[in-house]
Amino acid sequence: MSSTSGVKKVVLAYSGGLDTSVILRWLQQRYNCEVVTFTADLGQGEELEPARKKAEIFGVKEIFVEDLRETFVKDFVFPMFRANTLYEGQYLLGTAIARPLIAQRQIEIAEAVGADAVAHGATGKGNDQVRFELGYYALKPDVKVIAPWREWDLTSRTKLLDFAEKNQIPVTKDKRGEAPFSVDANLLHSSSEGKILEDPAVGPDEIVFQRTVSPESAPDKATEITIDFVNGDPVALNGTTLSPATLLTKLNELGRINGIGRLDLVENRFVGMKSRGIYETPGGTILLTAHRSMETITLDRDAGHLKDSIMPRYAELIYNGLWFSPERRMLQALIDTSQHSVTGRVRLKLYKGNVICVGRESPNSLYDARVVTFEDDEGAYNQEDAQGFIKLNALRLRLGAQIGRKGGAL
């Protein structure tokens, strides 16, 4: 096989696992090019050093191993949570939000080492290929993208293992048999999908869950916590200021033990099919309730409604891999503008899968007990104003009804 494609140097997103090891070797053979590996810690919970050693064994000269957890949470997870983002009403986008960071670092490394290509290990049916590649192209428009799963002929497990064997790629015993489902993980979530999970009529077995106990197994006593926010981002847990990644890590642990953040979902992929995933987002689930609760007293009504109205579009963009797009940047500007006063403290009760807000306070609170009270409000609100308010809001409806269009008939 010759390098007819003209690829000279490729940066591979490399986990050190079997699949990306096969890809590494395959790239060396198929493209006869230099491979640079990039292994990132986004909180997936795996050792990174083995990946370095394996890469060395394959003769890789430029090996990048990086801990990106703080960047991941600070620059990707938190901005997304400012919008209370949910895809299709339920999914916290744990996989989607990690892809742009990986793509960005891959491209930065490609620029640094003079590589002309990048490669990833995502399959041809999923969203991740789209997310990686839209990121690549947006950041380096002339980059050559290699997606081995769409190109090669290792289309079955057997062929893959054969290739591994022929190429002295170590296959651990547990990888010989096929995994019963596929897992993706980072500091925000883990997802499981495929194979035994492909029938949406059947609930997931308990063994599927990676990072949460079941609500049933969680403690019988609730845990109460506080989260402090500054400008829309969480900064402290139980009064202790923490870095973004540390805070999320601790929330994950709190979520884990209290059975929080499981989701069994059928979702719609950007590539046009429905798929079923089991998600666990323990810390993120706590954070969503915390942030929304913080906003309830600090955010203006119409500011909040505007955010809610654009959120589905924002979520869709992230899901589809369009983090690095003009429209995501524009929506982010709108969202970030709204967060300047989202500062204060939220109290939450965690109990067997439930995240319950039991208190919120803020120096910027717009909640005014003096106005809303059933008691004497000392003139803070003039009840007579309500009549004019209603009369003019009703005017167009009355004018319509007067000519026979009653009840809002058209």
Among the listed ranges 39-47, 49-57, 237-245, 257-265, the one in contact with its own copies (CB under 8 A) is 257-265
CB 99 within 8 A of CB 22: no
Number of residues forming the site for its own copies (CB under 8 A): 138
Copy the structure tokens of residue 101.
């960071």
Smallest distance, its own copies to C-beta of residue 74, A: 17
Q: Does 309 show up as a binding residue in the annotation?
A: no
* Alpha-carbon distance values, 231 to 2, 243, 253 (Å): 55, 15, 25
Return the amino acid letter for 277.
G
Copy the structure tokens of residue 230.
């500054």
Nearer to its own copies, 253 or 308 (CB): 308
Smallest distance, its own copies to C-beta of residue 203, A: 3
Q: Does 155 show up as a binding residue in the annotation?
A: no
Return the amino acid letter for 166.
K
H/E stretch holding 252: helix 244-257
Confirm or reject binding of residue 141 to its own copies (CB under 8 A). Answer: yes
Residues 6+ positions from 138 with CB-CB distance below 8 Å: 324, 325
Q: Does 381 show up as a binding residue in the annotation?
A: no
Per CB under 8 A, the list member of 18, 113, 236, 306 interacting with its own copies is 306
Candidates 75, 116, 182, 336; catalytic one: 182
Nearer to its own copies, 50 or 124 (CB): 124
- Is-catalytic flag, 128? yes
Per CB under 8 A, the list member of 35, 139, 154, 318 interacting with its own copies is 139
Per CB under 8 A, the list member of 222, 235, 242, 257 interacting with its own copies is 222
Report DSSP state, residue 408.
Answer: G
Helices 99-113, 128-139: crossing angle, 10 deg rounding: 40
Smallest distance, its own copies to C-beta of residue 132, A: 9
Among the listed ranges 70-78, 147-155, 162-170, 244-252, the one in contact with its own copies (CB under 8 A) is 147-155
Smallest distance, its own copies to C-beta of residue 319, A: 10
The residues in 18-77 that bind its own copies, with binding defined as CB under 8 A, are none
Question: What is the sign of the dihedral through the CA atoms of 212, 16, 138 and 125?
Answer: negative
Nearer to its own copies, 96 or 130 (CB): 130
Smallest distance, its own copies to C-beta of residue 7, A: 16
Nearer to its own copies, 62 or 361 (CB): 361
CB 286 within 8 A of CB 254: yes
The residues in 197-216 that bind its own copies, with binding defined as CB under 8 A, are 198-203, 215-216
Copy the structure tokens of residue 193.
């999908």
The radius of gyration computed from the CA coordinates of the chain, to the nearest angstrom, equals: 25
- Is-catalytic flag, 233? no
Smallest distance, its own copies to C-beta of residue 186, A: 21
Per CB under 8 A, the list member of 99, 105, 140, 256 interacting with its own copies is 140
Per CB under 8 A, the list member of 57, 112, 230, 399 interacting with its own copies is 399
Report DSSP state, residue 142.
Answer: T
Among the listed ranges 44-52, 166-174, 244-252, 367-375, the one in contact with its own copies (CB under 8 A) is 367-375
- Is-catalytic flag, 19? yes
CB 115 within 8 A of CB 9: yes
Longest dimension (CA), the chain: 86
Nearer to its own copies, 60 or 342 (CB): 342
Nearer to its own copies, 187 or 278 (CB): 278
Name the residue with tokens 């524009």.
330
Per CB under 8 A, the list member of 303, 318, 343, 350 interacting with its own copies is 303
Helices 282-298, 244-257: crossing angle, 10 deg rounding: 110
- Is-catalytic flag, 220? no
Nearer to its own copies, 60 or 290 (CB): 290
Copy the structure tokens of residue 149.
């799963």
Helices (H), 96-243: 99-113, 128-139, 148-151, 157-166, 173-176
Question: What is the sign of the dihedral through the CA atoms of 133, 134, 135 and 139?
Answer: positive
As a whole number of angstroms, the distance between CA 266 and CA 202 comes to: 12
201 by Cβ neighbours in 10 Å (0-12 / 13-18 / 19+) ranks as exposed
- Catalytic amino acids? 19, 99, 128, 182
Residues tagged in the binding site annotation for L-aspartate: 123, 127-128
